[in-house]
Amino acid sequence: MEERYERQIALPEIGAAGQARLRESRVLIVGCGAIGSNVAEPLARAGIGGITLVDYDIIELSNLQRQGLVTERDVGRLKAEVLAERLAEVNSEVKVDYQVLRVDPGGIEGLVKGVDIVFDGSDNYPTRYLVNDACVKHGVPWVFAAVAGTYGEVMPVIPERGACLRCLMPEPPPDAAVLTAGTSGLLNAVPRAIAAIAVAEGIKILLGAIELPTRLVTLDLWQGRFAAQTIPRNDGCPCCGEGKFEFL
Ligand SMILES: [Zn+2]
């Protein structure tokens, strides 16, 4: 196959068949900030067939410290639009489209249906619980990712086979308990590291190579601590156990 992907096809884990599968894959990225942009770039370079970006926000100067693929001249423009332009320059073979909106219960199911995987690039738990409900309901895998300070965590959700976000945390944490880049700052290497893990997990999901049971990976880049813990499925989970999609 073509020169562009030769190092990737050379990987026994991917090969020509895996590359063909990636080319047929459609991905949704919810949020185009630090994590979303750093997930989108390697996916485009890897030759994913289609990428849909969703974000309602504009680029501020303070985003440049951690946001992928943006420059000073993009300040004031829409994150989703700018990222879509840059991805098209990175790899014109990828069909990239974007929607400028805040995901809500009325729209999330339409976005999730028909894609092969969803990446969490949001920065808040209400959006993640919405994505979790929609993805579990429609059997679409997604990758949870969160960062704050020097810490990050990432967990793939494989509906019906692995744990979901509500198996990990039955209810959204109260706002006051949630660390965000806004309240605790953010070391810019952290979203890049978490995004890299999310992309690797996502490619494994697309190629049918993800391991179960579910693992939550956590890291603290300042302390040099990396850990993975098994998260069991909870039979009493309101979402994936009982099929109650309370956030939709
Ligand atoms: Zn669950």
Q: For 68-105, write each residue's pLDDT tens digit.
A: 999 999 999 999 999 999 999 999 999 999 999 999 99
The SS3 call for residue 219 is: strand
Span 18-44, average pLDDT:
98
* Residue 82: strand pairing partners: none
Residues 6+ apart with CB under 8 A from 6: none
- The confidence score (pLDDT) of residue 181 equals 75
How many Å lie between the centroid of ligand 1 and the Cα of residue 133? 9
Degrees, nearest 5: CA angle 28-30-34: 120
- Report the pLDDT value the prediction gives residue 183, as an integer from 0 to 100: 79
- pLDDT level of residue 4 (50, 70, 90 thresholds): very high
pLDDT classification of 175: cutoffs 50, 70, 90: confident
> What is the residue-averaged pLDDT of the chain?
96
Spell out the domains of the chain, with CATH numbers in brackets.
Answer: 3-230 (3.40.50.720)
Query: How do residues 204-231 score in pLDDT, each as one tens digit?
Result: 999 999 999 999 999 999 999 999 999 9
pLDDT band at 179 (very low <50, low <70, confident <90, very high): confident
Is residue 162 within 8 Å of 212, Cβ to Cβ? yes
Q: At what angle do helices 34-46 and 189-206 cross, to 10 degrees?
A: 40
Task: Please give the distance, rounded to the nearest whole angstrom, from the Cα atom of residue 7 to the centre of ligand 1.
Answer: 37
Centroid of ligand 1 to alpha carbon of 89 (angstroms): 39
Kindly tell me if the per-residue pLDDT of 169 is higher than 60: yes
Percentage, residues of the chain above pLDDT 90: 94
Query: Would the pLDDT of 1 be above 70?
Result: no
65 confidence band (pLDDT: 50, 70, 90): very high
Strands of the sheet containing 142-148, edge to edge, are 95-99, 50-54, 26-30, 117-120, 142-148, 151-157, 215-220, 225-230
pTM: 0.97
Residues 1-30: what's their mean pLDDT?
Answer: 95
14 CA to centre of ligand 1 in angstroms: 30
Give the integer Cα–Cα distance in Å for 29 and 37: 9
Residue 157 CA to ligand 1 centre (angstroms): 9
Is residue 186 packed enough to be buried (19+ CB in 10 Å), middle (13-18) or exposed (0-12)? buried
Residue 129 has pLDDT above 80, yes or no: yes
- For position 58, what pLDDT does the model report? 98
Nearest by Cα to 121 from 30, 27, 216: 30
Of the CA atoms within 13 Å of residue 238, those in its CB half-sphere come to 13
CA 10 to ligand 1 centroid distance, Å: 37
Average pLDDT over residues 14-34: 98
Kindly state the average pLDDT of the residues 44-56: 98
Q: How far is the CA of 238 from the centre of ligand 1 (A)?
A: 7
